[in-house]
Structure 1
Amino acid sequence: PHQQQQLQALAQQQQQMQLHVQQQQRSFGLGSDPVWSGELSWMINSPNGLPREYVCAVSTFAGTKVENSLEEE
């Protein structure tokens, strides 16, 4: 249960980070270039006593809405 709590807490932190980043990139509005990218890593002790490393690569893009125009044939 403790390990699961740890993972849930990390998942929440990550969501908050991503939300924060999305808010930042809205104010930049830089097309489709990656605005922010990074790697999260953390160690968790597995049942056999050996620490296990989890790595999560994160990159966010500034969202630009592209309007597609449909032409009638």
Structure 2
Amino acid sequence: MRAIELHRDAGAYALGVLGTVDTCRFEEHLAGCSACVVQVREFGPVVAHLAAYAHLLPPGGVPRPAGRP
């Protein structure tokens, strides 16, 4: 994985959707990249809002269109 790809993985890492190998690689990168540390921290509120929204979804996770039961 190239360095530029690692920088792009900050959001996926914050969301916890990277695979095991990519998580390990990103964490190694994160240890020396202050820009990615900031990005991961900034994703914290986004992750929290997405988690809160997910709890509001009906079973199956598909929101119903407005005006439909």
TM exceeds 0.5?
no
Question: If the length of structure 1 is used for normalisation, what is the TM-score?
Answer: 0.32
Question: If the length of structure 2 is used for normalisation, what is the TM-score?
Answer: 0.33
When you count helix as a share of all residues, which structure comes out higher? 2
When you count strand as a share of all residues, which structure comes out higher? 1
